[in-house]
Every structure is written in C-alpha cells, then in structure tokens.
Amino acid sequence: MQNMKDKHEPLVSVVIATFNMSQYLPGAVNSVLAQSWQNLEVIVVDDGSSDNTAGSMKRFGNDSRVRYIQTENRGQPKAKNRGLAEAGGEYIAFCDADDLWHPSKLIVQMPLFENPKVGVVYSEVSYIDQYGADVSKPQPYPRYSGIVTKKLVIKNFVPFGTAIIRRACIDKNGVFDENLPMGIDWDLWLRYSIDWQFQYTPEQTYIYRIWSGQMSKNYRSRYDNAFLILNKFLNLYPDTLPNTLIARAWADMYVSRGMAIACAERTFSEPLKDILTGLRWDSTYWPAWRSLAKLMLRRV
C-alpha cells in the first residue's frame, strides 16, 4: 500500500470538545499538533467551562491551525456537533480533552482509507493515569474490521478517540444524537456500520487517561443510555439483523449491566434479576451462564 504521505495529504479536522479540563487540554492540543501528518486543523469547542480553559488556550492564539470556540454549557453531543459543523476537512478525528495522541497516529491510520468503502479507521489504545504514568490494562474486547454491524450490536469495540471518519459518513448517516448524554459514539458507529466498512489497526495511536473525574465511571447512566441506543437502532433498522442476534444483543445488555452493578456495588438481587432476564432472551448465551455462576459463588 502506498503511503498517503507520499501523495497529497488531505486535510484532517480534529475535534476536541472540552468542559473544565484546563489542566489536561493543552497537552491534548499539543499532542495533535505534534503529528507527523502536516495538513490538519484543531477545533476546540469549550462547552461552557468555568475553570481556566480560556486562559490555558491563549498559548495557541498565534497558531493558525487551532480554533478555540466558546459556547454556553449544552452538553457533549452539542459541543461535538459544533466541532463537526466547523470542520473543513475531508476526514475528521477526535481527541478527548484529557487524552493524548501518539505523534504517528495520522501517518499510521490515514493510509487505511485507500479502500473507498472504509468509513471509519480505528486503532488500539494505551493507558496513563492522572499524572501521565503508564498503566497496564488488558484489551477489553476483540476488535473487528469490514462489515461489523453484527459484532458492533453486541459490544462497542471501537475506542472513540482512536477513530477517524470520512466526512461522507456524516453527510450520509448524520452526526451525534443530541438527545443522548452518554454513549453517543456507539450510536454513531451503529448507524455508520450500515453503509460503511470499519478498519482496525493494532498499533496504539491513542493514549487514554484513567482518572477519577471521568464521565465513563457513571455506569448506571451509561447502561440506561445503552438500552436507549440499542432500542433506537433496532427500530431504525428493523430488518438488518436476524431475530437470534437481536435476542443475543439484549441478553448481553442485561448481563453486562447486571455484572457492572454486582462488581461496583457488591449487591446480589438486582444483578441476579438482570442475568436471568438475559437468559430468557437467549438461554444459549454462555457468558450469561458464566456470569450467573460467578454471581452465585460471590466471585464478582
């Protein structure tokens, strides 16, 4: 495959939506600007921050590649969509304000768009703590390439910040759902998977920061939204998946929520109800039986 750096480099727009992340935001912006890929722009959308975000962005005031947009606090989906509306690139990428990019991210991922059927290119992740020290963490899910809807409906295996998308995906399949406060990436990937192939590279191009202030730690709200997203997708595309796979998707949803609650709260009755509901959806789903055994033996 010919490296796209040897040809004209298409413009990549990088959207960073931020809220009260002044301690980490400059590092995120600098990591994007440090790319080997030269043709890029960074769009920082400040979703009504009350900290020193504006002050921390002043250092980029003379860099024409960086745009800083301040808005009232309207939530992350609206902030990300504002970034998408401002983006001028043929390709669009993302970086959360508390995370970082590897310098070679775009050089690694952009050549994988050579196939015009590929709409999303994503990669593997490495982890750091709140101080920037490396954290060892196992890969949570298998990754997939190609037509991925049947896999994606079970698990969201695409780490959001690693993804680069074609603008054509937005034009054809839409932007983030502003009615969803969480899980907006899974909703987006499900819709994109209907018309586009996904391409995975095992290289670690994204550095995810694990710290106490993350929204992703709110597991109950996360699952509330996941239920909404799955139901929405199945209603929008009722003939896309066989009934057996739909049943498995619901089984996994209930079992996953049950185990999340069991692990976080050390409770029994609510997780048991969820796991049994999952088994009613799909009695052949072996992770549900494994989860039931772990719960009964108090090994969660």
Q: Is residue 105 part of a domain?
A: yes
Q: Residue 5: pLDDT above 60?
A: no
226: left (phi over 0), alpha (psi -120 to 50) or beta: alpha
- Where in 154-231 does DSSP place strands (E)? 164-166, 197-209
Which CATH number fits the domain that encloses residue 15? 3.90.550.10
Q: Is residue 77 part of a domain?
A: yes
**pLDDT at site 8:** 83
If asked whether residues 72 and 205 sit together in one domain, one would say yes
If asked whether residues 184 and 286 sit together in one domain, one would say no
Q: Residue 177: pLDDT above 70?
A: yes
Residue 195's Cα: distance from chain center in Å? 19
Q: Residue 142: pLDDT above 50?
A: yes
Residue 236's Cα: distance from chain center in Å? 21
Q: Is residue 43 part of a domain?
A: yes
Q: Is residue 228 part of a domain?
A: no
If asked whether residues 152 and 256 sit together in one domain, one would say no
- How far apart are the C-alpha atoms of 66 and 62, rounded to whole Å? 8
> Mean of the pLDDT values across residues 35-41?
96
If asked whether residues 124 and 10 sit together in one domain, one would say yes
**pLDDT at site 103:** 97
Final residue of a domain: which of 175, 200, 217? 217
* Confidence tier at 214 by pLDDT (50, 70, 90): low
Q: Residue 144: pLDDT above 80?
A: yes
Q: Residue 140: pLDDT above 90?
A: no
If asked whether residues 142 and 278 sit together in one domain, one would say no
Asked whether the beta carbons of 191 and 173 are under 8 A apart, the reply is yes
Q: Is residue 165 part of a domain?
A: yes
Q: Is residue 236 part of a domain?
A: no
Give the whole-number percent of the chain exceeding pLDDT 90: 91
If asked whether residues 195 and 269 sit together in one domain, one would say no
Give burial (CB, 10 Å; 0-12/13-18/19+) of 244: exposed
SS (H, E, C) 40-64: EEEEEEEECCCCCHHHHCHHHCCCC
Domain membership of residue 26 as a residue range: 4-217
The token duo for 242 is 């066989």
If asked whether residues 211 and 292 sit together in one domain, one would say no
Q: Is residue 31 part of a domain?
A: yes
If asked whether residues 205 and 272 sit together in one domain, one would say no
Give residue-wise pLDDT tens across range 51-85: 999 999 999 999 999 999 999 999 999 999 999 99
* Confidence tier at 198 by pLDDT (50, 70, 90): very high
SS (H, E, C) 223-236: HHHHHHHHHHHHHH
> Mean of the pLDDT values across residues 243-257?
98
Q: Residue 3: pLDDT above 70?
A: no
**pLDDT at site 215:** 55
Longest Cα–Cα distance in the chain: 61
Count of the separate structural domains present in the chain: 2
Residues 6+ apart with CB under 8 A from 226: 183, 186, 253, 257
Q: Is residue 232 part of a domain?
A: no
Q: Residue 98: pLDDT above 80?
A: yes
pTM score above 0.85: yes
If asked whether residues 172 and 252 sit together in one domain, one would say no
If asked whether residues 117 and 247 sit together in one domain, one would say no
Give burial (CB, 10 Å; 0-12/13-18/19+) of 138: exposed
* Other beta carbons within 10 Å of 115: 11
If asked whether residues 153 and 29 sit together in one domain, one would say yes
* Confidence tier at 43 by pLDDT (50, 70, 90): very high
If asked whether residues 211 and 256 sit together in one domain, one would say no
